[in-house]
Structure 1
Amino acid sequence: MIPEEKLQSVIARFEAVQSEMSADIPRERFVQLSKEYAELSPVAEAIGKLIAARREYADAEQLLRVKDMAEMAHEEIDRLNEVLPKLEHDVEIMLLPKDAADERNVILEVRAGTGGDEAALFAGDLFRMYERYAAGQGWKVELIAASPGEVGGYKEIIAGISGAGVYAKLKFESGVHRVQRVPATEGGGRIHTSAATVAVLPEPEEVDVEIDDKDLRIDVFRASGAGGQHVNKTESAVRITHLPTGIVVSQQDEKSQHKNKARAMQILRAKLFDAERERVDKERAANRKGQVGSGDRSERIRTYNFPQSRVTDHRINLTLHKLTEILEGDALGELIAALISEDQAARLAAMEEEA
């Protein structure tokens, strides 16, 4: 049970924010408080319901001692015994420490892995799945770079996704996605297995990542298309190497060198920010214990089996026989909701062990 003092401290902070917002304060401070108010408002409302239910329970227990009221008190206690656990759980989830990056926009990278042409086709399927899911969420998808496959799909595709709570919902998609299906070119009906790697990188603010110019090596070259044919005769493509980490980012989709450099720096910032977050996470053993597997690009997280029309997420042992609906983006939310719930439950359990 959540201690009363903890609940009251949240209510007190919410009321303090309300009070300060009504005072004559600078615009910057008002904007800052408005954000905190928006975050605290649903928590304060849920806590209010929990506190009221706890008081009703205490009142009902008092009424048990009154002869004529005992039966009614028992009925009230039975009702509250059903209501209180859910109210407690809802507040516990709301009070879990939030990932500071949850509200960030993301850079989504999908790369074909083992499986040749079939892997590139699958990478295309995955990217379209995220595109459709994003559309359903009201998010904006902006293509950053794409390298088409020989027969369709993509060897690699990178896009920016912006909107409310993008990283919070997509962060568990990072990892190796495996597909099992019969390729169109397979005459014998044999099932082939191929894979694609997904990386979801939260976009940092300028202040989150400091990049020293002396740590960069910037190379320019001519952009080339399929078959090695030059798209243009100017050196507009850009390759940036971050010397301390060895991270290399190339960009050639834009016609201007300036735009390609800006795009490449955008991706580099996200990669450096993600690498630092991963380093910090690894240092927090207890924190990682309370997380659903995410961030490890080599971890096989999900299998899409076409013959059986099923999708299995190996981290939470969940199988849904809704392959078409998931790839169309409609049922992907079910998988994402299950992953978020599992992560919340694991973090709650970890906190209880520490307490």
Structure 2
Amino acid sequence: MIYLQLSTGQSPAECQFFAKHVFHKICREAAQYDLSTEIISETPSKYGLLSAVLAVSGSRADEFAARWLGTLQWICKSPFRPKHLRKNWFVAVSRLPEMPALPENDEIRFETCRAGGKGGQHVNKTESAVRAVHLSTGLSVRVESERSQHANKKRALQLLAMKLAEHLSQQNQRYQQNQHSQLYQLERGNAVRVFKGMDFIE
């Protein structure tokens, strides 16, 4: 299994709009490769997506990922700012480290609480929701999607491990950016895939 991270960084609305299209296209193309996908995390914005992490599994996962890794370019007049002169928008797809070993229990503080939202009386009677906090980094996740506390705890561990991997990747990226201040501009000029117009024709 591999983990693909889609990111817009601090890019404007147009890049966020493009990112949402890219995310859906990645999922559709994965199906054509007979691959299974699972959305690990997704950060939506008013205009589309700020970032997302997708798990991809199957015999052709590496071949598939190679088609997407790098900078993606969208050439189109801004759908939000008609008078804006810029027509080139970029998002990045990177591969996260493999899922690390699940953190040990002594590294995590578990908190339980009643699940909120819809679900009738059952969802509020028991403290089935679980919040897991990684003590050394302060990273946390909250899970209430399952009915049992045990299932939510297991899922929380998995999500926390993924969040730790993403955190490590971001730290590495920041280090590389500090060491190579012109890296981003260089990558923008070397898109691995280019899409054009509001129909995103490649």
What's the TM-score, normalizing by structure 1?
0.39
- The match for 2:139 is 248
Larger Rg: 1
Change (3 A) 1:273 1:187: closer
2:95 is the counterpart of 1:200? yes
User: Separation in 1 of the partners of 2:88 and 2:55?
Assistant: 29
- The match for 1:164 is 59
Which amino acid in structure 1 is aligned with residue 141 of structure 2?
Answer: S
Structure 2 SS opposite 1:250: strand
User: Separation in 2 of the partners of 1:138 and 1:120?
Assistant: 27
Q: Which has the higher contact order (CA 8 A, sep 6+)?
A: 2
1:134 to 30, 34, 53: 30
User: Separation in 1 of the partners of 2:131 and 2:89?
Assistant: 29
2:154 is the counterpart of 1:154? no
- The match for 1:323 is 195
Change (3 A) 1:168 1:189: same
More strand as a share of residues: 2
- The match for 1:209 is 101
Change (3 A) 1:156 1:274: closer
- The match for 1:312 is 190
User: Separation in 2 of the partners of 1:148 and 1:248?
Assistant: 20
Change (3 A) 1:176 1:213: farther
- The match for 1:125 is 21
Deviation of the 1:127 alpha carbon: 1.0
Q: Deviations over 1:209-230 (max 9, x none)?
A: 252111113456788xxxxxx7
What's the TM-score, normalizing by structure 2?
0.61
2:81 to 159, 163, 186: 186
Q: Deviations over 1:37-83 (max 9, x none)?
A: xxxxxxxxxxxxxxxxxxxxxxxxxxxxxxxxxxxxxxxxxxxxxxx
Mapping 1:53-64, distance limit 5 Å: none
User: Separation in 2 of the partners of 1:123 and 1:268?
Assistant: 24
Contact 2:8–2:92 (CA<8 Å) still a contact in 1? yes
More helix as a share of residues: 1
Q: Percent identity?
A: 22
User: Separation in 2 of the partners of 1:168 and 1:264?
Assistant: 30
User: Separation in 2 of the partners of 1:236 and 1:112?
Assistant: 35
Contact 2:143–2:156 (CA<8 Å) still a contact in 1? no
> Where does structure 2 lack aligned partners over 5 or more consecutive residues?
178-183
Change (3 A) 1:112 1:275: closer
Change (3 A) 1:209 1:136: same
Deviation of the 1:191 alpha carbon: 1.7
User: Separation in 2 of the partners of 1:240 and 1:175?
Assistant: 32
Structure 2 SS opposite 1:323: strand
User: Separation in 2 of the partners of 1:241 and 1:123?
Assistant: 29
2:5 is the counterpart of 1:109? yes
User: Separation in 1 of the partners of 2:90 and 2:143?
Assistant: 25
Structure 2 SS opposite 1:124: helix
User: Separation in 2 of the partners of 1:112 and 1:237?
Assistant: 31
Which amino acid in structure 2 is aligned with residue 183 of structure 1?
Answer: S
Which amino acid in structure 1 is aligned with residue 65 of structure 2?
Answer: L
Change (3 A) 1:188 1:272: closer
Contact 1:249–1:267 (CA<8 Å) still a contact in 2? no
Deviation of the 1:135 alpha carbon: 1.7
RMSD: 4.4
